[in-house]
Amino acid sequence: MNGCSMTADSLRPVGGKRNEGQTGQSGHDFRKMFEEAIRVITLMVEMRDCHTAGHQQRVAQLAAALGEELGLSNDRISRIHMAGLLHDIGKIVVPIEILGKPGRLNEIESAIIRTHPRVGYEMLIQIDFAAPIADPVLQHHERLDGSGYPAGLGGEEILPEAKILGVADVVEAMCSHRPYRPALGVDRALMEIEAQKGILYDNDVVDACLTAFRDRGFTFQAQPGMIRPQAEERLLASAKSGTTAHIAAR
């Protein structure tokens, strides 16, 4: 037998057959590497736009909390959390000038920003284990009444995970500063989703969000750019009314 030949035995780890403990450790290490890779990707997106730093992480926090409130399984909550971390990955192709524009977007700019859910989907669908994540990312801007994008889906056409992401995305965005408006605060955000309950946002998801904040005391962790509590009353009094499309995340 020459030096280049291999047998089945030669491919086994030193010390014999891999035991269950080693297999479990390998799975744990892989998951940890996967989660770290997701965080790096998230940072890559947010480093392009300092105005939304931390947005994806906070959306993931709230989306997971809503999943728990709705009694979803741990696996589904984990997938929703992961989708939250990646929901804006498609914005990596959107010009910085559009992401950071201080005023309203024009028609062309709006069309460009509306491509980000599909771009994110096309990126994630290339990864086999990300398939359950790609669809909610694609649909997170869809709305119950069909007024959302990119496909104008409505009602039961929208995945439950996407309905959760949509509410978490809107609430976090309204609580944070944006180039085109100041932070509006938690109370204003909850008022918005409550007013649009059953119209734009799923009834059960809205109820879960209201419960999470008002009864469970949910707060965002590590919230750079979030409104300070003492300033919330002043901003609520001065903020002009507007549609969710304008005050929520682009």
**Band of pLDDT at residue 106, cut at 50, 70 and 90:** very high
Which three-class secondary structure state does DSSP give residue 151? Answer: coil
Residue 12 covered by a domain: no
Confirm whether 3 is domain-assigned: no
CATH number of the domain residue 166 falls in: 1.10.3210.10
Beta bridge partners of 176: 226
Residue 96 CA: distances (Å) to CA of 91, 112, 171: 9, 12, 23
Which residue is associated with the tokens 């009602």? Answer: 155
Residue found by looking up tokens 């990955």 in the block: 89
Report, as an integer, the average pLDDT of 45-74. 85
End-to-end Cα separation, the chain, in angstroms: 65
| Average pLDDT rounded to a whole number, residues 9-29 | 50
Cβ distance 137 to 112 under 8 Å? no
Q: What is the domain range of residue 139?
A: 22-247
> How far apart are alpha carbons 91 and 87 in whole angstroms?
9
- Chain-wide mean pLDDT for the chain? 80
What is the pLDDT, as a whole number, of residue 100? 83
Residue 155 pLDDT exceeds 80: yes
Residue type at 197?
K
Residue 189 has pLDDT above 70, yes or no: yes
Q: Percentages helix, strand, coil for the chain, rounded to the nearest 5? A: 60, 0, 35
Question: For residue 144, is it within any domain?
Answer: yes
Report if residue 108 sits inside a domain: yes
Residue 16 maps to a domain = no
Cβ-based neighbours of 139, under 8 Å, separated by 6 or more: 117, 151, 153, 158, 159, 162, 165, 166
Count the Cβ atoms, other than its own, within 10 Å of residue 142: 26
Q: Is 198 contained in some domain?
A: yes
Three-state DSSP class for residue 227: coil
Q: What percent of the chain has pLDDT over 70?
A: 69
Residue type, 209: C
Let me know if residue 9 belongs to a domain. no
Number of domains in the chain: 1
Q: Tell me the per-residue pLDDT of 125-140, one tens digit each, with 9 for 90 and over.
A: 988 766 689 999 999 9
Residue 202, CA atoms < 13 Å, CB-side half-sphere: 24
